Structure 1
């Protein structure tokens, strides 16, 4: 018996339909994962990958419950929606997924900004803010030796730290 693929329409997606599809982070992650892996991938692997992102852990640390929650949502909702728009080919019985021809319409939008990258950089900015705030707060409380540094000195250090972090982000994300 031949695999049962969910039928996909051949017509090009409208911009509104495309944005509606890409509005969901899980669907964006499905497309990103499939473009990094040639050929069909197993639904379980895909689910573990997405569960790891959502739970901020490594794939080997994902629990059964975390993976199953993602897998159920992919199986019941996200993959059929992507298949209906010819973005993925999805064999429900075998649990195999791969990019379809319509995925080409999505790629420019996914290349523009990735959520995963923004979340990582947000953590770095938070870390720099905390590291800079601690000595400034101690100086404001008059704790020595922090109180010995002038406000202008702290301002220079904080500005330099954030400029360096911004440059690192620009170089990493844009390949400058």
Structure 2
């Protein structure tokens, strides 16, 4: 594959080093992607895949800017770290990446990370905040019928909505972890 960034030693990583590698979602996604693609993959395709996950869209919908942001981070930080630990082989000049022998150490821990398509709860919280903010803003501007509801009424609705979403999130996450 040409000049590569790999560690000369293939010895097992310490548990702390392994967890340090896997604590970053992008590095975990790199390993997941490489596990499902045989042989070397192109850095551009890998970046597009991760950008799609991060932007909650299909890879075809990823913009140049979104892909480039991920690609730069992979190129400068994540891939060299994974290569140092012999988890991947990375040819910087060709932009090609593949799993290395050290990836076997990661697989048992990644098997526990089965639900990678997590609901992005922050979007629901943002939606509730917007739904509450609009009538409050209209009431502040004196628009009828929004002025007929007291501030305490709006506060109660907002609290109830956030409590409901929080309960849904906890219920879903406990069900997933069970």
State whether TM-score is above 0.5: yes
Deviation, structure 1 residue 55: 5.7
C-alpha distance in 2, partners of 1:133/1:146?
12
* 2:52–2:61 contact (8 Å) kept in structure 1: yes
Q: List aligned pairs for 1:71-150, cutoff 5 A.
A: 71=71, 74-75=74-75, 77-88=77-88, 90=89, 92=91, 95-98=96-99, 100-104=103-107, 106-107=109-110, 111=113, 117=118, 120-150=120-150
The total of aligned residue pairs comes to: 168
Deviations 1:24-65 (A, max 9, x none): 553233234446x36556234322112334566531133456
RMSD of the TM alignment (CA)?
3.9
SS at 1:144 equivalent: coil
TM-score in terms of structure 2 length: 0.66
Cα gap change, 1:79 to 1:26, in 2 (>3 Å): same
In structure 2, stretches of 5+ residues that fail to align are none
